[in-house]
Structure 1
Amino acid sequence: MALLFIGIDPNTGDKQSPTVWVDQEKKEFVFQGWEPGPELEAECAAFEVPGHAQGIPKGEAVVRIPARMVHMIREACNVVERSDLR
């Protein structure tokens, strides 16, 4: 796996570090964020979308990323869309 570090929450403290990476080989985003808490996780699990099973499948997770990191997520999008990634 060739992870490319994009950025970390600028307001990060000693115990919090939401982070954005790009897996350059798979062209995927990798996010580290806060656990959602039971209320948000339950709300996400109960959300109904056509063609999407209710619940959070095994192997998937809900994470929270602060909106102040949107520029890092945009940068990650630009990296994944670059034609020189293989």
Structure 2
Amino acid sequence: MTLRYLGKDPESPEGRSPTLYYDDERDTYVFQSWRVTDAERLAVLDLPEHETVIEFPRRMMRFFPEINSDATEVDGPRTP
């Protein structure tokens, strides 16, 4: 698996997460972000046992190449 770093939330405290990666083998995105643990919010979802839910800020949409044709890797390729 090759994860390609696409971007990190520029407003994240201490430059930590959320972070967005692209998996070029699976043609999917991988998010490192805040886990949703609020029971009330989870109750409205049809969430299978093998899945989880994360939350990420709308401002990070700019890192999706499909949204912003100018999106580039901020720090170059890297793997976690």
TM over 0.5: yes
Deviation of 1:37 after TM superposition, in Å, equals 3.1
Task: Give the structure with higher Rg (CA).
Answer: 1
Q: Report the count of equivalent residues.
A: 66
Name stretches of at least 5 consecutive residues in structure 2 with no aligned partner. Answer: 68-80
| The structure with more helix, counted as a fraction of residues | 1
Structure 1 counterpart of 2:41:
40
Structure 1 counterpart of 2:61:
70
Mapped partners of 1:41, 1:16: distance in 2: 25
Shift in alpha-carbon separation, 1:27–1:40, aligned structure 2, 3 A? same
Deviation of 1:14 after TM superposition, in Å, equals 3.2
Mapped partners of 2:48, 2:15: distance in 1: 28
Mapped partners of 1:15, 1:37: distance in 2: 23
Mapped partners of 1:8, 1:15: distance in 2: 8
CA RMSD across the alignment:
1.9
Structure 1 counterpart of 2:6:
6
Structure number with greater CO (CA < 8 Å, separation at least 6) is 2
Deviation of 1:3 after TM superposition, in Å, equals 0.3
Mapped partners of 2:6, 2:50: distance in 1: 24
